[in-house]
């Protein structure tokens, strides 16, 4: 697939930057004129992935979160949220609804479940002590519908 647009952004792993990540991904897909639902889905999934990187990947320690977003010619959006934090020992367990490593926190353990419900595909790769990449993909169907109306 040919790339239509691409961007990379690195920022400190701090809670205040979660909303920044939402704004950046919104600005990246805005030229496609997505529906409000598509925009909300993407923002929510990216927000969850970034929050996981900050809270679970770094656990309050300093670090960097990277967002690498790619838009392909078929209007598929791919967003990789990457950290170099603790990593995930058991990805399958971490993807289980209500599982959390923050026992004394108010975390619901629904981050991956939320991402999966809003995106077409969610893939997680991780190495303990080296970090995690969460790959989110969604085909922006609003673009397809707009093309059909123009024809």
Catalytic residue list contains 48: yes
Question: Which is catalytic among the residues 18, 38, 52, 86?
Answer: 52
How does 136-146 read in b/e, with b if 16+ C-beta sit within 10 Å?
bbbbbebbeee
Quickly list DSSP for 38-96.
HHHHHHHHHHHHHHHIIIIIITTS--EEEEEEEEETT-EEEEEEEE-SS--S-HHHHTS
Question: Which is catalytic among the residues 107, 135, 139, 141?
Answer: 107
Q: Two tokens at 98?
A: 């209500």
- Annotated catalytic sites, by residue? 48, 52, 107
């Amino acid at each position: 697939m040919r790339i239509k647009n691409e961007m990379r952004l690195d920022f400190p792993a701090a809670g205040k930057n979660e909303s920044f990540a939402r704004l950046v991904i919104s600005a990246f897909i805005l030229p496609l004129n997505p529906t409000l639902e598509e925009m909300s889905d993407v923002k929510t999934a990216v927000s969850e992935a970034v929050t996981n990187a900050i809270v679970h990947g770094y656990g309050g320690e300093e670090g960097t979160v990277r967002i690498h977003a790619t838009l392909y010619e078929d209007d598929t959006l791919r967003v990789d949220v990457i950290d170099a934090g603790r990593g995930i020992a058991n990805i399958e367990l971490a993807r289980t609804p209500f599982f959390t490593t923050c026992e004394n926190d108010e975390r619901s353990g629904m981050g991956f479940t939320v991402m999966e419900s809003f995106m077409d595909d969610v893939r997680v790769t991780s190495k303990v002590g080296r970090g995690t990449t969460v790959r989110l993909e969604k085909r922006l169907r609003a673009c397809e519908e707009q093309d059909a109306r123009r024809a």
